[in-house]
Structures are given as C-alpha cells and as structure tokens.
Amino acid sequence: MKRKMLNLVIEKATWMDDYIFACQQGCTSCCTQSVTMTTLEGEGIYAYLEETGRDCGQIIERMLAQRQDMNSPQVTTNQFAQFCLEGREVDISVNNGASWNFSPCQFLENGDCSIYPVRPFACRALVSQKVCAQGGAAEMAPVVVTLNTIWLQIIEHVDQGGFWGNMLDVLAFLQNTHSGRTAEPLAGKTTRLLKNLPVPGFLLPQEERAVTSRALAGLFQTTIEGQPFSWLFKGVGIII
C-alpha cells in the first residue's frame, strides 16, 4: 500500500511539466553522495536492484567501503518544517555543509543513473533552468522549490514507521534487515537514520498559494484503494 502511495505522489508531481529545464541525460553535476531519502524509497531501489539481477549486498558493501567519511543529516524534512512553523531558529548547517559530500553518486554508471526508474524523489526534485555543468548552483523558480519540499514532506508522512537519512545509510540499513543481520540501533544518536515524522503543516508563501493549493488538491482528491488520499492527512492541520 505504501509503495502504491509513493508511486501516486511521484505521478502527481505534474508541475515539473510546466517548466523547461536544462537537465539532460548525461548531465550529472547534481548526482552526489548527499542524496537523502526514506526507507520506503530505499525498498523500491533494493527491489529494483534484485529485479535487475544485481547483488544488492555486494553493491552496498562496495559502496560503503568506497564512500568518503561523512556525517549524517540531523533533521528530517518534516522536523525542519516543524521548527520553521514554531518560529524556532534552525541551524541549517546541521544538514547543509557538515553532512554534504559532493563526490559523485555511486549509482552513476557511464554517466547515467543506474537506478533511474526508482531514483529517490530528492533526485527528481533537483532540476535546473540553467546548465549546472557550466558552473554555479541549480536554478529553479521558488514555487518549484516549495512544491518539491511539500512533496518530500508528504513522502516522509506516508512512510511513518520508517526512517530517513542518506541514501547509502538507508540501503545499508535495509541490507542488514533483509539479510537478517542486526541492524544498527535506531534510537538517539547511535544511528545514522532518523525516524520519519508526520507533516506538521506546510510552509506556503502567500503568492504561491494558488499553485500549491491546486497541486495539493490534485493529490488529495485522488482515490487510492477506495479512500481519498487526503484521508491519510486526517487530523493534520494543513494550511491550503
């Protein structure tokens, strides 16, 4: 059921079609080791690796061995939103900087993403209206950043009971659980993963309300297994 919901959320990210992006096959400037995702997305990657005849255990062990040392992110997307909604100071260096590793993503093969059909939403969200390879950061309209953040929040919400963290840490955790090994303890500071949290609300700038409300309505009004998707958010104080 969660997998179906994830697919629906990805399918409904239709605003991407309203913009012309410079992103093209072979441009991999944004493909770094700093991708974060939920365990739900990780399960999809894990299954895809198996379906395509690849040895997940071997791949993940090799990636871990080759990975440069890096800290893990400390705040999930929904936790970050919670802090902002409460007007609390958020030290973004806890996620930006110390935990970022700009080495190429280990899923790149000959300049292409080797898990493209199941890549995390964070990868889908990182688009640019200018060619990043020419230098500098990606550029996108502020409303696209807002919508992508909302969608990341929703995916975290859908995967409550699951975890969030760096892509490779999530896959290593799944590899442990799939192989029956004791996974890293999942509490406090001993873990590299964080618990997924429910949506505390969305940060919607006034001037973007029309577009964001339309996108959210398109998702929430969709029925999944007889229930409107909005049912999942019953009781959540969402400002639309």
Give contact residues for ligand SF4 (rule: CB under 6 A): 31, 35, 105, 107-108, 113, 115, 119, 123
Q: Rounded to an integer, what distance in angstroms lies between the CA atom of residue 32 and that of residue 212?
A: 28
Q: How far is the CB of 105 from ligand SF4 (least distance, A)?
A: 3
Query: Residue 17 corresponds to which amino acid?
Result: D
Q: How far is the CB of 115 from ligand SF4 (least distance, A)?
A: 6
Residue partners of 180: CB distance under 8 A and separation at least 6: none
Q: How far is the CB of 108 from ligand SF4 (least distance, A)?
A: 5
CA distances from 136 to 13, 30, 32, 72, 228 (A): 26, 11, 15, 24, 42
Using the minimum distance from each CB to ligand SF4, give the nearer residue, 102 or 231: 102
Using the minimum distance from each CB to ligand SF4, give the nearer residue, 113 or 203: 113
Using the minimum distance from each CB to ligand SF4, give the nearer residue, 35 or 140: 35
Q: Rounded to an integer, what distance in angstroms lies between the CA atom of residue 37 and that of residue 156?
A: 8
Using the minimum distance from each CB to ligand SF4, give the nearer residue, 61 or 91: 61
Q: How far is the CB of 156 from ligand SF4 (least distance, A)?
A: 18
Strand partners, 223: 228
Q: How far is the CB of 159 from ligand SF4 (least distance, A)?
A: 18
Query: Residue 102 corresponds to which amino acid?
Result: F
In this structure, the strands spanning 163-166 and 36-38 are antiparallel
Which residue, 193, 183, 116, 188, is CA-closest to 159? 193
Q: Which two tokens stand for residue 62?
A: 């090799």
Using the minimum distance from each CB to ligand SF4, give the nearer residue, 120 or 200: 120
Q: How far is the CB of 122 from ligand SF4 (least distance, A)?
A: 7
CB atoms under 10 Å from CB of 125, counted, come to 18
Using the minimum distance from each CB to ligand SF4, give the nearer residue, 110 or 134: 110
**b/e per residue, 186-219, with b = 16+ CB within 10 A?**
eeeeebbbbebbebbbbbbeeebeebbeebbeeb
